[in-house]
Amino acid sequence: MNAIVDPHGPDLVNLPSNPMPEGGRAGYFQTYDNVRLRYAIWPKSAEHRGTICLVQGRTEFIEKYFETIADLRARGFAVATFDWRGQGGSERMTGNPKLGHVDRFDDYWCDLKSFHGEILLPDCPPPFYLVGHSMGGLASLFAAAHDRMMFDRVFLSAPMVALDRQPLSLGGMAKLGEALSFVGLGKVPVRRGADKPMSEESFPGNPLTSDRRRYMRGVELVQAKPELEVTSPTIRWVATAMAAMAQANGDDFPARIGIPLLMLGAARDEVVSTAAIERLGLRLRTGRHAVIAGARHELFMENDAIRGQVLAAFDAFITEQSG
């Protein structure tokens, strides 16, 4: 087993405004292509309902999901999570640690497959449920397409199926990024206004959440540990993400998913395309979708009323298995 448990780290940031759920342990593991990733596990409860594998969106990190982890633990689940390569407390892929970068979108599949084999299978109780947000939602869709035996069910929050308001098609954007990468610009950042550091001043009108307390919690976490922060993606990241989204919108993709899957879209999402989530949801054979009214992109970080709807949808979806 390639897990490395360090009694002196990796330290998870534990703030009064964002307390770490009790009973967790953190460590590092090596992916099958030798990238060092940070992970954390909260063990099973007395109810023993299985394990939630929680995967994050671009730029996110374990600590941001402490509240959601506590909610899942209260429902009787063990929770296992990790930071994707290039973000959080995991190994960074460029000389500038603030940039989000991967060479291929399949690198995220390698991360998840390695986590499943090195941490979930030996250390966590089945059945396994995959919960993914945004970029992690797109990676989860590909995991479901690659191997329908890894997880029993997949629950996605605002998956990054497509982006609105792009100057070219997804395939066209991917080809442009590939061409720029080919001439040596792959690690050049794509500067966007949305990638500015979060602050109290940036809360009004932000596209992520209407909940000031949860928004500021993310700000405080990065202030407490600045090395967690990731800002702009690289040209290569954009190219490979656009290619993956184009593939997910292909005619043959829905038929590749053969396990129960629920996608939640946010009605006021300005980050990913809710319309694309709806179109894919209508084409899935073993999956469906719902749209949460009034919600912005980060459904798990939204206000209590919206989070209540998200968790109720999760509860109903998981219960269906035995219903």
| Rounded average pLDDT over 238-262 | 97
Average pLDDT, the chain: 94
| Residue 230, token pair as written in the block | 């990731």
- 235 touches 33 (CB < 8 A): no
Q: What is the pLDDT of residue 298?
A: 98
pLDDT for 157-204, tens place per residue? 999 999 998 999 999 999 999 999 999 999 999 987 666 778 889 999
| Rounded average pLDDT over 241-257 | 97
Tell me which amino acid residue 63 is: E
Is pLDDT larger for residue 116 or for residue 10? 116
Stated pTM of the model? 0.94
Q: What is the pLDDT of residue 271?
A: 96
* pLDDT over 50 (residue 30): yes
Torsion over CA of 119, 149, 322 and 122, rounded to 10 degrees? -20
pLDDT for 110-146, tens place per residue? 999 999 999 999 999 999 999 999 999 999 999 999 9
Percentage of the chain beyond pLDDT 90 is 89
Q: Which residues contact 137 (CB under 8 A, 6 or more apart)?
A: 57, 156, 157, 158, 159, 160, 161, 263
C-alpha to C-alpha distance for 300 and 176, rounded to whole angstroms: 33
| Rounded average pLDDT over 4-27 | 81
Q: What is the pLDDT of residue 194?
A: 62
Q: What is the pLDDT of residue 322?
A: 43
Q: Is 93 exposed, middle or buried (0-12, 13-18, 19+ CB in 10 A)?
A: buried
- 73 touches 45 (CB < 8 A): yes
- Ordered by where they begin, the domains of the chain are 3-322 (3.40.50.1820)
C-alpha to C-alpha distance for 281 and 285, rounded to whole angstroms: 9
Give the E-state strand segments of 45-167 in sequence order.
Answer: 51-55, 78-82, 128-133, 153-157
| Residue 73, token pair as written in the block | 């633990």
| Rounded average pLDDT over 67-90 | 97
